[in-house]
């Protein structure tokens, strides 16, 4: 599938909207909790990708997985951590807490790339990291008296950490002539997440209503948008993807507010504004300098 730049922007906006439904849908579950929620979403994501991927890449995608090297498996592990931590965090804390914490991804990635690959970090990014850190500290400080909320936010922190590891593995492999195809890596991540959470999901308590909702998440919130996001990343520049991905935070908080009555706390709004503002300014300045 070939995308023009303008179509890639539209598709990426649609992707962020699809990603953002996780919180509000999770709040409609009747009985499923924690690892069972994660298992069913990952299972339906795996089932969906087993059908979708052959249409995009043919049966060659399965040969890639059979012949996968260490780097592709590492990427799959990173995806599985992201899938698992995201859903567990949503069962422990608010949608706003999870999404704002995930917005730290570009900054954690920059720091990890500096340590492990030697990428230089511009001064503007150091300033943005300091501001974002202050925002997260403010948000965490407001939750110190809420043990469950803080635990959920800490679990959510695993998502950008795993995402940064994933990006570092992909970049390091590419520099050594081993390009990683992220689409089969997503499938491997869903499979690993399903296997890892299955023993922890017992005894199953999900109702047919819950399973239906989690099937919707597996297909429309994860499988389809992840494939589309990989396609968009081949057309859009990294700053464009980073900025458009922030729409997930806005869409997700609004949907949880309107669809589940989950009003974000003042510390989350203040800290989140610092994080998102720092990212937007950093990416826009970098974009302008490169132009």
pLDDT in tens, 165-218: 988 888 777 776 677 777 788 889 999 999 999 999 988 999 999 999 999 999
Residues of the domain holding 163: 5-290
| Confidence at residue 173, expressed as pLDDT on a 0 to 100 scale | 77
Q: Which residues contact 61 (CB under 8 A, 6 or more apart)?
A: 53, 54, 181, 183, 184, 187
Task: Report in angstroms the alpha-carbon separations of 244 from 115, 168, 208, 233, 265.
Answer: 26, 21, 35, 11, 24
| Confidence at residue 291, expressed as pLDDT on a 0 to 100 scale | 64
For residues 274 and 124, is the Cβ–Cβ distance under 8 A? no
Give the position of tokens 């780097």: 71
| Confidence at residue 144, expressed as pLDDT on a 0 to 100 scale | 55
| Confidence at residue 66, expressed as pLDDT on a 0 to 100 scale | 76
- Taking each continuous run of H as one helix and of E as one strand, the counts in the chain are 16, 0
Residue-wise pLDDT tens digits, 59-83: 777 777 777 778 888 989 999 999 9
Q: Is 107 exposed, middle or buried (0-12, 13-18, 19+ CB in 10 A)?
A: buried
Task: Report in angstroms the alpha-carbon separations of 275 from 133, 185, 269, 286.
Answer: 8, 29, 10, 17
pTM: 0.85
Sign of CA dihedral 244, 75, 183, 69: positive
The total domain count for the chain is: 1
Helix (H, G, I), strand (E, B) or coil at 289: helix
Query: Which residues in the chain land under pLDDT 50?
Result: none
- The string of DSSP letters for 112-169 reads HHHHHT-PPPPHHHHHHHHHHHHHHHHHHHTTTT-HHHHHHHHHHTHHHHHHHHHHHH
| Confidence at residue 194, expressed as pLDDT on a 0 to 100 scale | 96
| Nearest residue to 71 via CA among 223, 177, 187 | 177
| Confidence at residue 247, expressed as pLDDT on a 0 to 100 scale | 84
């Amino acid at each position: 599938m070939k995308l023009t730049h303008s179509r890639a922007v539209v598709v990426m906006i649609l992707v962020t909207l699809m990603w953002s439904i996780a919180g509000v849908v999770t709040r409609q579950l009747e009985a499923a909790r924690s690892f069972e929620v994660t298992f069913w979403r990952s299972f339906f994501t795996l089932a969906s990708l087993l059908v979708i991927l052959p249409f995009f890449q043919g049966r060659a995608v399965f040969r890639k997985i059979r012949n996968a090297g260490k780097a592709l498996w590492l990427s799959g592990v990173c995806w599985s951590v992201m899938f698992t931590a995201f859903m567990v965090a949503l069962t422990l804390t608010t949608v706003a807490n999870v999404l704002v914490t995930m917005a730290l991804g570009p900054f954690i990635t920059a720091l990890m790339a500096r340590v492990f690959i030697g990428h230089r970090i511009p001064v503007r990014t150091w300033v943005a990291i300091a501001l974002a850190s202050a925002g997260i500290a403010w948000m965490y400080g407001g939750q110190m008296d809420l043990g469950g909320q803080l635990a959920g936010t800490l679990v959510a922190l695993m998502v950008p950490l795993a995402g940064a590891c994933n990006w570092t593995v992909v970049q390091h492999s590419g520099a050594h002539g081993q390009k990683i195809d992220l689409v089969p890596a997503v499938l491997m991540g869903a499979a690993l997440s399903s296997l890892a959470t299955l023993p922890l999901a017992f005894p199953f308590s999900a109702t047919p209503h819950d399973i239906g909702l989690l099937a919707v998440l597996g297909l429309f919130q994860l499988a389809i948008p992840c494939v589309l996001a990989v396609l968009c990343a081949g057309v859009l520049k990294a700053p464009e993807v980073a900025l458009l991905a922030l729409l997930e935070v806005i869409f997700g908080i609004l949907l949880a507010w309107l669809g589940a009555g989950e009003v974000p706390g003042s510390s989350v709004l203040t800290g989140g504004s610092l994080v998102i503002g720092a990212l937007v300014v950093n990416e826009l300045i970098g974009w302008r300098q490169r132009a």
